[in-house]
Chains A and B, each alone.
Chain A
Amino acid sequence: MGLSHRAVPAAAVFAALPFLSPHQVLAHGFAGDRFFPATILTDDPFVADEMSLPTLTYGPPGSDGSRQLDLDVDIAKRLTPNLGIQLGGTWSRLKSPGLPGVTGLNGMSAELDYQLFTDAPHEATAMIGLAADFGHTGRVQALGASDFTTVSPLVDFGKGFGDLPDSVPYLKPIAVTGNFSLDFPTKDQSAGTPNPHNFNYGFAFEYSLEYLQHHVKDVGLTAPFDRMVPLVEVSFSTALDRGQGGQTVATIQPGVIWSGQYVQVGAEAIIPGTRLAGHGYGGVVQFHMYLDDIFPATLGRPLFGD
Chain B
Amino acid sequence: MTALLTLPIVLPLLGAGLSIMVGRSRAAQRVISLVVLTAVTGISIALAVVVDREGIVTVQAGGWPAPIGISLVADRLSSIMLVLASIMLLAVLVYAIGQPGAERNHVGFQSVYLILSAGVAASFLTGDLFNLFVAFEMMLTASYVLITLGARKDQVRAGMTYVVISLIASALFLSALALIYTTTGTVNLADLSERMAEVPEGLRLAFALFLLMIFGIKAGLFPLFSWLPDSYPTAPSAVTAVFAGLLTKVGVYAIIRTQTLLFPPEARPQQLILWIAGATMFVGVLGAIAQADVKRILSFHIVSQIGYMIMGLGLFTIAGLAGAIFYVIHHIVVKTTLFLTGGLIEHVGGSGRLSRVGGLVRTAPVVAVLFLVPALSLAGIPPLSGFVAKFSLVSAGTAQERWTIVAVSILVSLFTLFSMMKIWSGVFWSPADEAPDVEPHAVGRWGGPVLMIVPTAALAILSIAIAVGAAPLYDLAERAAADLLDPQGYVQAVLGR
Tell me if chain B binds chain A. Answer: no
